[in-house]
Amino acid sequence: MESNAYLLGTAIPELQRLELQNELWSSQTEALWNAAGFGPGQHILELGCGPGFSSLALAQRVGETGKVLGWDRSQGFLDHLAARAEESGLPWLETFQGDVLSSQNPALEGSMDGVFSRWLLCWMKRPMDAIETAHKALRKGGKIVLFDYFHYRSLDLLPHNDAFRHGLQAVENAWYAAEGNPDVGTILPNLVEEAGFEIEHCKLITRYAKAEDPLWQWPMSFFPGFMRQLAVDNYLTTQEAEDFLAAFRASEKHPNGLFLAPPMLELVAVKR
Ligand SMILES: C[S@@+](CC[C@H](N)C(=O)[O-])C[C@H]1O[C@@H](n2cnc3c(N)ncnc32)[C@H](O)[C@@H]1O
């Protein structure tokens, strides 16, 4: 594992999971960019871009007169993004390797039209630092666009099952132990206002899936590997991890089985 990897790692399986996750959430993401007015010719910074599936889409959106900078602390993820940008003929998409919290930032002061960040702030001990970085990088009138977890415990599975709730608590425990916050969306509106932004759009996205729906693949691409890892790390026993996964198989077979995705916060705010 890369030494500075986040809790879920930066190896190929996580990269593939992020690709699937991007596909499953791309229509919500594109709609949010529309709400923010992201479009041709703009300069957009993506904070915590990971392997950059959204940065590639942003680069298509701004076109050759625009610019996209994908910033992440994983060099492995950024190498993937740079290769994909080259293959796709998108030289106006560039990468920057570094921790959003470090002082070695690219010189962007007041130059960006937009900053986008999805599923980064939930991994940060001090999300305000990233919001302040965004504020500095934006010109007046520029927009910050955030998309992140709002209330993880609202994730649910039908029929209800105690082993499922127990396993979900273990996921939250590991998340907090990694100094992240699975409910970061609950504090983001206050943080962006404190940083000097004015909120233009703020909404919760709730989704659900039956086993035959594409979104069902989202928890399936995450929980089997992660629950077994949590058992290795002693957040729960191997049996508890297997019982959690069995609850998904039971739900999959049940005629009224349902997965309720955790609500996401989407927010657009303008720098005045
Ligand atoms: C869940 S992934 C999300 C990737 C991408 N935003 C997406 O929507 O697919 C979280 C990303 O945040 C990055 N990350 C976490 N903490 C960071 C930090 N302090 N500075 C820079 N990147 C960070 C990780 O390396 C990882 O690529």
| pLDDT of 18 higher than 80 | yes
pLDDT, position 11:
84
CA nearest to 126, candidates 212, 187, 61, 60: 187
**Whether the Cβ atoms of residue 161 and residue 257 lie closer than 8 Å to each other:** no
- The stretch 203-214 carries a mean pLDDT of 98
Q: In what order do the strands lie in the sheet with 93-97?
A: 93-97, 67-72, 43-47, 112-118, 138-149, 264-271, 197-205
**Whether the Cβ atoms of residue 89 and residue 54 lie closer than 8 Å to each other:** no
How far is the C-alpha of 123 from the C-alpha of 110, rounded, in Å?
26
In a domain, 118, yes or no: yes
**Whether the Cβ atoms of residue 150 and residue 265 lie closer than 8 Å to each other:** yes
Predicted TM-score (pTM) of the model is: 0.96
Q: In this prediction, what percent of the chain has a pLDDT beyond 90?
A: 92
In a domain, 5, yes or no: no
In a domain, 82, yes or no: yes
Query: 230: CA distance to ligand 1 center in Å?
Result: 20
DSSP state of 106: -
Ligand 1 pocket check for 175: Cβ under 6 Å = no
Local confidence band at 169 (pLDDT 50, 70, 90 cut-offs): very high
Q: Domain range holding 238?
A: 12-271
In a domain, 26, yes or no: yes
Tens-place pLDDT, residues 30-87: 999 999 999 999 999 999 999 999 999 999 999 999 999 999 999 999 999 999 999 9
In a domain, 88, yes or no: yes
How far is the C-alpha of 225 from the C-alpha of 222, rounded, in Å?
6
| pLDDT of 105 higher than 90 | no
pLDDT, position 126:
95
Atom from ligand 1 closest to the CA of residue 5: 25
Ligand 1 pocket check for 148: Cβ under 6 Å = no
Ligand 1 pocket check for 6: Cβ under 6 Å = yes
In a domain, 173, yes or no: yes
Ligand 1 pocket check for 114: Cβ under 6 Å = no
- 3-state class (DSSP) for residue 234: coil
In a domain, 260, yes or no: yes
Query: 51: CA distance to ligand 1 center in Å?
Result: 9
Atom from ligand 1 closest to the CA of residue 8: 1
Number of domains in the chain: 1
In a domain, 1, yes or no: no
CATH, residue 250: 3.40.50.150
Atom from ligand 1 closest to the CA of residue 46: 6
